Amino acid sequence: MAEPARPAQQHRDARATLLARVIDRSPSVFITLISVLVGLVLSDLVTEARARMHLWPLDFMAARTWGQLVGQGTCAVSFWVLLAHLGLVRKRFPDLLETISAFVPPVILLAAATFVGRPTIWPWFYLAGLYLCAGVAVLNVQVRITMSQPGGAAFRRLLRPTGPFSVIYLGAPTFLLAGVLDQRGLLPPRVELALAVAPMPMSLMVAWLFLTDLRNTLSDTEEDGTASEPRTLHLPSISSGRRKPPASGGPA
């Protein structure tokens, strides 16, 4: 007859169950947080556009405003894609830095929405460069947190200089330099328009490169696990297939 579990053992089992529940639900809570922040950014952008932005007829100012508007919206969606998928592949106890860092880029996008459609665009260039610099820092933090879990070393490839974030590495100094030049009146209107439209293809490219790299990382990890599986399963079959020697005194 089995003995009843001791109180200490029951306490340990309850804590282990609670810890497993927190770890299992942590990705969904993090993705919900990112979704709320990105939804807030998009809602504020729509409110600003309806209140004061000149979007029609499609002259130079309207085209530049459309570029800023669509670019910021695409940046917000790309930010959601990156952080949501990083949170999805994590299976660890949540970290405070993981949550705090997720707030930084959306706050900058909210501030940048104030300067969308203004006659002077250099403040928006500065905030765009600041957003990209913050994005580099936040993505490094998020990827390293993902790497800290068992088997997470495979995600190091996301941080290589030629990886999916290389577009951000190049874009941050470009927009900061554009802000300096435009503030001094040295930036031609054509370049202003090109830089206002640039965030949309940049964001889509970063999201596509990231998802491609993430898929390859997970595929390589799965192939490594499949390749090692036969070796693990082969050992018991050898020992179980051995013939037992005949008992002494029995027939040969």
Task: Write the pLDDT tens digit of every residue in 162-183.
Answer: 999 999 999 999 999 999 999 9
Q: Kindly state whether residue 102 falls inside one of the protein's structural domains.
A: yes
**151 contact partners, CB below 8 Å, separation of at least 6:** 221
Is it the case that residue 1 has pLDDT exceeding 80? no
Residue 13 resides in a domain: no
With contact defined as beta carbons under 8 Å apart, do 60 and 197 qualify?
Answer: no
Tell me, yes or no, whether 233 lies in a domain.
no
Question: Which pLDDT does position 223 carry in this prediction?
Answer: 64
Residue type, 99: T
Q: In terms of pLDDT, which residue wins out, 46 or 220? A: 46
Does residue 18 fall inside a structural domain?
no
Considering the domain boundaries, does residue 202 fall inside one? Answer: yes
- Name which residue leads in pLDDT, 233 or 225: 225
What whole-number distance in Å separates Cα of residue 71 and Cα of residue 160?
Answer: 25
Q: Cα 153–158–163 angle (5° rounding)? A: 145
- Cα 111–chain centre separation: 21
**CA pair distance 109, 38, nearest whole angstrom:** 9
Give the tens place of pLDDT for each residue, 56-88.
999 999 999 999 999 999 999 999 999 999 999
In a domain, residue 50? The reply is yes
Q: Are 37 and 103 in contact (CB under 8 A)?
A: yes
User: Which of 34, 31, 32 is closest to 88 using CA atoms?
Assistant: 31
- Which domain range does residue 152 map to? 27-220
pLDDT band, very low/low/confident/very high, at 15 (cuts 50, 70, 90):
confident
CA distance 141 to 149: 13
Number of domains forming the structure of the chain: 1
Burial 180-214 (b: 16+ CB within 10 A, else e): ebbeeeebeeeebbebbbbbbebbeebbebbeebb
Main-chain phi, psi angles of 181, to 5 degrees: -65, -40
Q: What is the pTM of this model?
A: 0.83
Rounded CA gap, 39 and 57, in Å? 28
Residue 12 belongs to a domain: no
At residue 50's C-alpha, the angle toward residues 49 and 51, to 5°, is 95
The residue written with tokens 């090109």 in the block is 194
**Confidence at 201, pLDDT banded by 50, 70, 90:** very high
Residue 4's Cβ-side half-sphere holds a number of Cα atoms within 13 Å equal to 2
Q: What is the mean pLDDT of the chain?
A: 87
pLDDT reading at 128 higher than 80: yes
In a domain, 36, yes or no: yes
Instruction: Calculate what percentage of the chain has a pLDDT beyond 70.
Output: 85
- Separation of alpha carbons 108 and 130, rounded Å: 8
What Cα–Cα distance (Å) separates residue 173 from each residue in 69, 114, 129, 166, 252?
A: 21, 22, 7, 12, 85
pLDDT for res 244? 46
Percentage above 90 pLDDT, the chain: 71
